[in-house]
Amino acid sequence: MPSLEKMTCVEDFRRLASRRVPRMFYDYVDSGSWTEQTYRANSADLQRLQFRQRVALDISRRDLRTTVLGEDLAMPVILAPTGLTGMQWADGEILAARAAQHCGIPFTLSTMSICSIEDVAARTQRPFWFQLYVMRDRDFIGDLIDRAKAAGCSALMVTLDLQVLGQRHKDIKNGLSTPPRPTLANLLNLAGKPRWCWHMLQTRRHGFGNILGHAKGVSDLHSLSTWTAEQFDPTLSWADLEWIKQRWGGKLIVKGVLDAQDARHAVDAGADALIVSNHGGRQLDGAPSSIAALPAIVDAVGSQIEVLLDGGIRSGQDVLRALALGARAVLIGRAFLYALGAMGQPGVQRCLDLIANELSVSMAFCGRTSVRDVDASILLNPGIFQSQEA
């Protein structure tokens, strides 16, 4: 049986999660939309950035600390909002939030989480962020915002790139649902995942906790599925952010920006931060990688708003590459989900420790002792994703 000490990188966790997590939930994490071109590009483009190694410099003391939206972070990493986290491991959102708290970084709870806002707030001490999908039922959305405020959430993140759903072939073929439907294929797959099944039997949290019992007309999982498919709002516009910002009254982040013009709209809408993101390659296949889109957005609005990035981050070196091109911090999704599915909360904490160590060591090789001093000069080829504005 693998031990925590033998897990040395995110890939180790991915391989273990592929054996321990039921197929439909593992595939939900480990896939993109259509041909998965953008999903693959997120990681591949990061690897194209080469470091400029420096030597004979005093690198004895290194500092990974930074701030995002006025919050102190132990390192420039945030746990991204991910749906169905509680299906990777029982009560997964609570465990991931505790791991983030232990490591001194923010956790972001998804609207489509298994554990509810109230569940996570009651079982953690550090304020977390809440991610909001805007749906047609604005009374329900207003209630979600109010619930996040009541729970003490320190930032609200509005996702803008899921007005319609990108086709994810594996989810369709697997018949993704929560909990899994009792089909022969699912039962056979679950039979080979005794650890997962045992933990799931110990919790009552098997559905979408933020929605069941809160949204009108949703009383069981069958109606929930229909409601969700009908509720994502294709009329969402920048004008809606004004109402959201007023209702929320706190720090506002917009997620899903890939274009400099949209970044300017985010600034004009009063956002405090934006996330350069293509939804992990799960929406528009053929869109640019997040790292390729980053330079133009930093050039356009980096002096006016905090610019974060997600997509493809699998290591501390990837974090360093994103910082070099102007990101203030990064969000990780798949990386922590692999660790969670493999080993629960200890896995997530180990994953974050590995990323922190790799960031620190790689920064040292580049002659830097603080993440605040990282810039494009640590790269040999910083211009490969030349800023090009429309």
Quote the CA–CA distance of 211 and 149 in Å, as a whole number.
17
Segment holding 351, helix H or strand E: helix 334-365
CB-neighbour burial class of residue 60 (10 A; exposed 0-12, middle 13-18, buried 19+)? exposed
* Strands of 252-257's sheet in order across: 77-79, 329-332, 306-310, 273-276, 252-257, 155-159, 129-132, 108-109
Token output for 304: 């006016």
Quote the CA–CA distance of 280 and 1 in Å, as a whole number.
31
* Annotated catalytic residue, options 102, 169, 222, 279: 279
- Which residues neighbour 369 within 8 Å (Cβ) at sequence distance 6 or greater? 58, 59, 61, 62, 63, 363
Omega before residue 127 within 30° of 0, cis: no
CB-neighbour burial class of residue 250 (10 A; exposed 0-12, middle 13-18, buried 19+)? middle
User: Pairing mode, if any, of strands 329-332 and 77-79?
Assistant: parallel
214 a catalytic residue: no
End-to-end CA distance of the chain: 53
Place of tokens 């910083």: 382
Contact 109, 132 (CB under 8 A): no
Q: Residue 276 pairs with which residues in a beta bridge?
A: 257, 309
Residues known to be catalytic? 279
